[in-house]
Amino acid sequence: MSAAEIEEQARLKDCQERIGDNLHEIGVRLDAYARDIQANKNHMWEARRDMDHIDKVALRQSIEQTMRSAEVLKAQRHKLLKLRNSPYFGRFDFARGQDGKSEAQPIYVGVHDFTDEASGETLVYDWRAPVCSMFYDYEIGPARYEAPAGEVEGRLELKRQFRIRGGRMEFMLESGVNIVDDVLQQELSRSSDEAMKNIVATIQRDQNAIIRNAEADTLIIQGVAGSGKTSIALHRIAFLLYRFKDTLNSKDILIISPNRVFADYIGNVLPELGEEQVSEIGMETLADELLQGQYRFQTFFDQTSLLLEGRDEALRERIAAKGSLGFLKQIDSYVDYLEANSFKAVEWRPGVGRIVPDWHFQETWQKYRGLPISERIAEVVRTTEHKVFLHYKHELESRQLKALREAVRGMVQRKSLRAAYKGLFEWLGQPELFKPAGGRLEYSDVFPLIYLKMRLEGVDNSRQEVKHLLIDEMQDYTPVQYAVLGTLFPCRKTVLGDATQSVNPYGGSNAEQIQRVLRASAPMKLTKSYRSSWEIMQFALGISPNEELVPIERHGESPRVVRCARQSEAVERIIAEIEDFQASSHRRLAVIAKTQKYAEKLHRLLAEKGVETRLLDAGSGGFSTRIIICTSHLAKGLEFDRVIVPDADAHTYQTDMDRNMLYVACTRAMHRLTVVVNGEPSAFLPASAMS
């Protein structure tokens, strides 16, 4: 063991002993609280007849106060128990001052901070503390960080990394030049987990800049597949909760997530980082809330399935027309048109010699623009009643009020929301763009309808309290959806995605469009891809080239393209691959098909051969099985040790949207990718892999 290792082992032991002492102290205090609570309860029971109401309330409050204090201590104990297993993962020694001549102070970085109660000494710093940004940003040499009181300059004298698990130091690395590379390589070589993990020990410099950006009102992260966008966005939430702890808590944050499988997958990261889980909601649920359950509509999953399973040109055109930035402007112009024609004011006479002029009605109507019609009418009636009283000193009788209400209603020219929405397409001269089927709206109509409702009537928004909104898979939402989200959530936002993984290519948004609608600053880019091995990423780049993407240099097996002449042969090859997986140390395998129909068929065919797999569909809410079958759409955002693409033939993968799906499927694989082709291979498969 080197001198440095001996020193660090001793430091670890000391730290753990002090954590142990603090845990003991907490235990003693918790016992005292428990005795206190029990004694007060006993007293309350025994003296219940002699106590008056005020005494009882005071005693109850005292018990509640003690219980709250005990809860705080329990949370601290939970934190310390975690820390005892793994107190920190890094150390750097920082000498303040430009000359770097002051004595360097060691800073140990962990998931939580730990200050020893007895000595008051901070033995571990929370990774989110301002000083710890240097751990991610610098190697040995000049360094600086932004402290609350201003910038601090100095020098990093030493930097070490540790892996401490179950209280034992598994390794220690002296990092000289290479920023956390060895540890990162090890992390990325691991087997996939059921849930997304925290990456605090190996956050990279460009990622750190995004996580710690506290200034941006709306931050757009545009990152290639596997670049850590989702991880980084969640770490950013943890950072903001720490940085703004007095004004922001977990209940103030909302995640718009693409589906429940994904929500379940990411659900662990914040609790791992010591924060409470935050709420999430899907776009369909939000739409249903905003439309108060009054409309039936197709889901996004249905829309994607229709696009992938059929070749309905008219459907694509309808989606494309409603997915453009121009459409948002068209709705705005239509609202102006409706407004201009929504009210035909006429004068009204509340008795002989009294006149309320038409312009009063016109002005008042304009003033209450944006309210639901019934409220707007009520406001005009109320204002008119007041005006009559002021002008003529005349209080309207209930008979007159009724007549006034009728008169105002008669002036309103407005149609129902449904009729107004249908009228939009007639006004545009394109009635064919509105095509509800069986009383169900198409998905592409849902948010334009909501936007129209917002503009004409306003919507009930029970989510005004949200202080930070996180939107993942940003490329799949239309400009109209962003306009709705922007109005509903006038708070800070983190928006992230990747254009090459769109499942809504006819109606999605790129970063520039989102930037315009949400008035955000330029997107921050992540171009390094961490998930897949270098070989898998080269294969994926052959499907969808991207000059910006830099694959991590982690090598593994080359992806295999298995060519078959018949369906039965393809099934046999898939079974062989599944058996190979079962005999391996890998934990999770996904068979990722293009369409739900084919995923279902394959699931059946495998079951007939006695191979158990779990089929995911739009209603799935997570999974813990080792082998799953799903579509690319559902696999988005997830990762697996091994992926089998079972249907990579020319007939299945033809369009640009198909290309995106194939790219998404392949980039889910961390270590091994097998592509099965039955018949003619898809032209998207890289030529080099076909030889």
Ligand X SMILES: Nc1ncnc2c1ncn2[C@@H]1O[C@H](COP(=O)(O)OP(=O)(O)OP(=O)(O)O)[C@@H](O)[C@H]1O
Phi-psi region of 274 (alpha: psi -120 to 50; beta: other; left: phi over 0): left
CB-based contact 513:326 (threshold 8 Å): no
Q: Is 530 in the site for ligand X (CB under 6 A)?
A: yes
Interface residue with ligand X, options 222, 230, 494, 533 (CB under 6 A):
230
Q: Which residues are bridge partners to 649 per DSSP? A: 681
The correct pick among 86, 133, 175, 202 for binding ligand X (CB under 6 A) is: 202
For residue 98, give both structure tokens. Answer: 């430009």
Q: Which of 424, 451, 420 is nearest to 290 (CA)?
A: 451
Indicate whether 226 belongs to the interface with ligand X (CB under 6 A): yes
Binds ligand X (CB under 6 A): choice among 204, 218, 303, 384: 204
Q: Which residue has the tokens 């599944």?
A: 578
Determine how many CB atoms are found less than 10 A away from the CB of residue 93: 16
Rounded Cα–Cα distance for residues 559 and 676 (Å):
11
Among 181, 187, 194, 272, binds ligand X (CB under 6 A): 187
Q: Which of 667, 674, 678, 682 binds ligand X (CB under 6 A)?
A: 667
d(CA 666, CA 632): 9
DSSP letter (8 states) at residue 641: E
Pick the stretch among 127-135, 219-227, 292-300, 351-359 that binds ligand X (CB under 6 A).
Answer: 219-227
Query: Applying CB under 6 A, which part among 128-136, 200-208, 429-437, 462-470 lies near ligand X?
Result: 200-208
644's tokens: 């089998």
Residue 513 or residue 529: which is nearer to ligand X going by CB? 529
The C-alpha atoms of residue 204 and residue 528 are separated, in whole angstroms, by 10
Contact status: 660 vs ligand X (CB under 6 A): no
CA gap 20, 165 in Å, rounded? 16
The one among 109, 123, 143, 184 contacting ligand X by CB under 6 A? 184
Q: How far is the CB of 599 from ligand X (least distance, A)?
A: 19
**Helices marked H in 47-105 — which ranges?**
53-85
d(CA 297, CA 116): 57
- Minimum distance between the CB of residue 183 and ligand X, rounded to whole angstroms? 9
Q: Is the CB of 595 or the CB of 660 nearer to ligand X?
A: 660
- The least CB distance from residue 555 to ligand X, in Å, is 16
String of b and e for 314-335 (b: at least 16 CB within 10 Å)? ebbebbbbbbbbebbebbeebb
Helix (H, G, I), strand (E, B) or coil at 139: coil
Q: Which stretch binds ligand X (CB under 6 A): 221-229, 255-263, 296-304, 483-491?
A: 221-229
Least distance from ligand X to the Cβ atom of residue 680, Å: 28
Region label for 167, one of left (φ > 0), alpha (ψ between -120 and 50) or beta (otherwise): left
Nearest to 397 by CA among 387, 408, 385: 385
Give the contact letters, 231-270, x = binds to ligand X (CB under 6 A), - = no.
Answer: x---------------------------------------
Shortest spacing between CB 218 and ligand X, in angstroms: 18
CA–CA separation, 284 and 296 (whole Å) = 11
- CA 686, distance to chain mean position in Å, is 32
Binding residues for ligand X, rule CB under 6 A, total 24
**Which stretches does DSSP call E strand in 490-626?**
492-497, 524-526, 528-529, 550-551, 560-564, 589-593, 614-615
Alpha helices in 519-644 (DSSP H): 534-543, 567-582, 596-608, 632-635
The correct pick among 87, 90, 110, 228 for binding ligand X (CB under 6 A) is 228
Return the residue matching tokens 């936002």.
493
Distance of CA 302 to the CA centre of its chain: 22
Which one of the spans 140-148, 164-172, 195-203, 267-275 is the region binding ligand X (CB under 6 A)? 195-203
Judged by beta carbon, residue 536 or residue 629, the one nearer ligand X is 536
Task: Strand 614-615: give its sheet, edge to edge.
Answer: 560-564, 669-678, 640-645, 589-593, 627-631, 614-615
Nearest distance from C-beta of residue 117 to ligand X, angstroms: 33
Which range in 197-205, 353-361, 508-516, 577-585 contacts ligand X by CB under 6 A?
A: 197-205
Binding mask 580-619 for ligand X (x = CB under 6 A): ----------------------------------------
Here's the x/- map for ligand X, 453-492, by CB under 6 A: it reads as: ----------------------------------------
CB of 226 to ligand X, least distance (A): 4
Query: Residue 630 in contact with residue 592, Cβ under 8 Å?
Result: yes
By beta-carbon proximity to ligand X, the closer residue of 520 and 549 is: 549
Residue position matching structure tokens 């006149």: 355
531 forms part of the interface with ligand X (CB under 6 A): yes
Of 280 and 639, the one with the shorter C-beta distance to ligand X is 639
Candidate residues 275, 280, 445, 498; the one interacting with ligand X per rule CB under 6 A: 498
Stretches 106-114, 127-135, 198-206, 505-513: which one binds ligand X (CB under 6 A)?
198-206
Closer Cβ to ligand X, 89 or 434, answer by number: 89
Q: Is 544 among the residues that bind ligand X (CB under 6 A)?
A: no
Nearer to ligand X, 225 or 675 (CB): 225
Helical segments of 323-372, H only: 325-340, 358-367
Which residues ranging from 631 to 650 are in contact with ligand X (CB under 6 A)?
637, 639
Is 551 a binder of ligand X (CB under 6 A)? no
Kind and range of the H or E run holding 297: strand 296-297
Interface segment toward ligand X; rule CB under 6 A; list 125-133, 218-226, 476-484, 623-631 = 218-226
Residue nearest to ligand X (CB): 228
Report in angstroms the alpha-carbon separations of 94 from 120, 127, 145, 589.
20, 15, 11, 45
Between 364 and 500, name the residue whose CB sits nearer to ligand X.
500
229 touching ligand X, by CB under 6 A: yes
What is the number of alpha carbons within 13 Å of residue 262 lying toward its C-beta? 21
Of residues 203 and 433, the one with the C-beta less far from ligand X: 203
The answer to whether residue 500 forms part of the interface with ligand X (CB under 6 A) is: no
Q: How many CA atoms lie within 13 A of 296 on its CB side?
A: 5
CB of 227 to ligand X, least distance (A): 4
CB of 199 to ligand X, least distance (A): 4
231 versus 631: smaller Cβ distance to ligand X: 231
- Which range of residues in 220-228, 243-251, 288-296, 379-387 is near ligand X by CB under 6 A? 220-228
- Of 199-207, 427-435, 442-450, 583-591, the window that binds ligand X (rule: CB under 6 A) is 199-207
Stretches 19-27, 68-76, 125-133, 229-237: which one binds ligand X (CB under 6 A)?
229-237
Q: Which of 87, 90, 110, 223 binds ligand X (CB under 6 A)?
A: 223
HEC secondary structure over 405-462: HHHHHHHECCCCHHHHHHHHHHHCCCHHHCCCECCEECHHHHHHHHHHHHHHCCCCCC
Do β-strands 468-471 and 550-551 pair in parallel, antiparallel, or remain unpaired? unpaired
Query: DSSP secondary structure string, 265-287?
Result: HHTTHHHHTT----EEE-HHHHH
The closest alpha carbon to 678, from 579, 582, 601, belongs to 601
Stretch that binds ligand X, among 228-236, 241-249, 317-325, 382-390 (CB under 6 A): 228-236
Q: Which residues here bind ligand X, judged by CB under 6 A? A: 184, 187-188, 197, 199, 202-204, 207, 223, 225-231, 498, 501, 530-531, 637, 639, 667
